[in-house]
Amino acid sequence: MPAFPSLEWLQALRDIVNSDPNFRKFGTIDCEMGIEVGERHWKVVFEAFEVADVAASTAAETDELDFVLTQPPDAWREMIENIKTHGAADLHHTLNTLDLEAPENFARGADFYRRDKFYRFNQTLQDFFDASAKLETTFPSEAAGSAP
């Protein structure tokens, strides 16, 4: 069971999404998304109908990406656990709701036109995260053997 957040977790999610023919139903997506959890960063590259790459990243590389999804580690955990519980994000945990309710945008980007890809491809991005319902996930506190 991969731990969230980690490269292994994102690779496992990529594999689930790329093997799911339903992921193609919304059409093509071309963007480079960042994920920021605390001080850790990852890059997820979407090309056409698949997740082409996932990789560790750095804060310095953030401006090179179309947008970065950022929230505190406990909020990420709440979102991932909500998806697992319901099979998909409920209305309070969708990417769109998180972005609308965040005091400083959930989806951040240096270039407004590139950040617009978050809104343009929002449903496909939501499907990407919703696929984590199929992934057994642990969290760092669980992996260390302490109480969650």
CA distance 13 to 145: 24
Strands (E), the chain: 31-37, 40-47, 50-57, 67-71, 107-108
User: What are the residues facing 91 on neighbouring strands?
Assistant: none
pTM here?
A: 0.92
Asked whether residue 141 is domain-assigned, the answer is: no
Asked whether residue 22 is domain-assigned, the answer is: yes
CA distance 13 to 132: 6
Asked whether residue 115 is domain-assigned, the answer is: yes
Asked whether residue 1 is domain-assigned, the answer is: no
CATH of residue 83's domain is 3.30.1050.10
> What pLDDT score does 120 carry?
95
The three-state secondary structure class of 106 is coil
56-79 tens-digit pLDDT: 999 999 889 999 999 999 999 999
> What pLDDT score does 134 carry?
97
**Does the pLDDT at position 146 exceed 80?**
no
Asked whether residue 144 is domain-assigned, the answer is: no
Work out how many domains the chain is built from and give that number: 1
Asked whether residue 47 is domain-assigned, the answer is: yes
Domain ranges, residue 101: 7-133
DSSP letter for 2, please: P
Confidence of residue 144 (pLDDT cuts 50, 70, 90): very low
Count Cα atoms within 13 angstroms, Cβ side, for 129. Answer: 27
Q: Which helix (H) or strand (E) holds 11?
A: helix 7-18
Confidence of residue 104 (pLDDT cuts 50, 70, 90): confident
The rounded mean pLDDT for the chain is: 92
What is the pLDDT averaged over residues 34-63?
95
